[in-house]
Amino acid sequence: MSLPAIAVKSLVKTFGDTTVLHGIDLEIPQGQVSCLIGPSGSGKSTLLRCMAFLEEATSGTIAINGETLGFTENVRGVRERVPAAANRAIRAQIGMVFQQFNLWPHMTALGNVSEALKLVQKMNRKEAEELAMAQLVKVGLESRAGHYPSQLSGGQQQRVAIARALALKPKIMLFDEPTSSLDPELTGEVLNVMRDLAAEGMTMVVVSHEIGFAATVGQQITFLDHGKVQFSGPPQEVFKKPRNPRLEQFLDTYLDRGASMLM
């Protein structure tokens, strides 16, 4: 077994008095697509944000390719902050795409992708724009490089956001409901870009209600409910009986039952 891309151990996250994640243990394998499903409010976004260190865990640890992110914890539970420079290097292995595309409205597609390279990687303009263009080609938006976000469809904007994350050469990509704010006819183009990325062997964690995508592209499906992992396993075990009763209820309530035909 190779080292997991992400190893989450006993992760607890509280906001004030509310515990949102109740001791999550989860391993994300290298080079696979892991899908995270679960009802609204179950803690999917919080878990993803902890993996990207956009949130600090309350207790427990997260290791990225074997290196502990944020805080180490000894056997007595004493936590110690990972030095900032080391932590930045670990975080840099992670790219994230959100439901809201968060593009800069005053910059073109090319500008949006190259800006991060100039800011984060201190590249000069020419270098940054070359690399940015290569990423736009990859997501099929070569001809839209000079367009501003307002001139692009939602699907195109999300593909720019994916290109922007990929330009920073992450080893792991996290997607939080990347198609949830898109009209149905635009989700396909985004899912296709994600499929291509999966085929290249990118390690991906995808929160999505697109059960067809999870069933066909996902290799590990994790069902989160009330801040706990209720089930984690290959798609065949999720979508075929025997099922975890809570998972079955979730699939009945939230998802298109037609998806089970895919398995």
Ligand X SMILES: Nc1ncnc2c1ncn2[C@@H]1O[C@H](COP(=O)(O)OP(=O)(O)O)[C@@H](O)[C@H]1O
Closer residue to Mg ion, CB minimum distance, 37 or 103: 37
The listed partner (ligand X, Mg ion, none) that binds 170, CB under 5 to 8 Å by sort, is none
User: In a 10 Å sphere around its CB, with 0-12 CB exposed, 13-18 middle and 19+ buried, how is residue 83 labelled?
Assistant: exposed
**Whats the size of the chain, residue-wise?**
263
Closer residue to ligand X, CB minimum distance, 38 or 155: 38
CB of 42 to Mg ion, least distance (A): 8
Among 45, 112, 114, 203, binds Mg ion (CB under 5 A): 45
Phi-psi region of 173 (alpha: psi -120 to 50; beta: other; left: phi over 0): beta
Closer residue to ligand X, CB minimum distance, 149 or 227: 227
Residue recorded with tokens 């290799």: 219
Closer residue to Mg ion, CB minimum distance, 13 or 44: 44
Q: How far apart are CA 229 and CA 215, in angstroms?
A: 18
The listed partner (Mg ion, ligand X, none) that binds 150, CB under 5 to 8 Å by sort, is none
C-beta separation of 119 from 164 below 8 A: no
The listed partner (Mg ion, ligand X, none) that binds 13, CB under 5 to 8 Å by sort, is none
The listed partner (Mg ion, ligand X, none) that binds 108, CB under 5 to 8 Å by sort, is none
| Rounded alpha-carbon distances, angstroms, from residue 133 to 92, 101, 190, 237 | 21, 19, 18, 41
Which residues bind to ligand X, rule: CB under 6 A? Answer: 15, 18, 20, 38, 40-46
The listed partner (Mg ion, ligand X, none) that binds 41, CB under 5 to 8 Å by sort, is ligand X
CB of 146 to Mg ion, least distance (A): 33
| Rounded alpha-carbon distances, angstroms, from residue 131 to 48, 101, 115, 128, 168 | 27, 20, 11, 5, 10
Chain residues in the site for Mg ion (CB under 5 A): 44-45
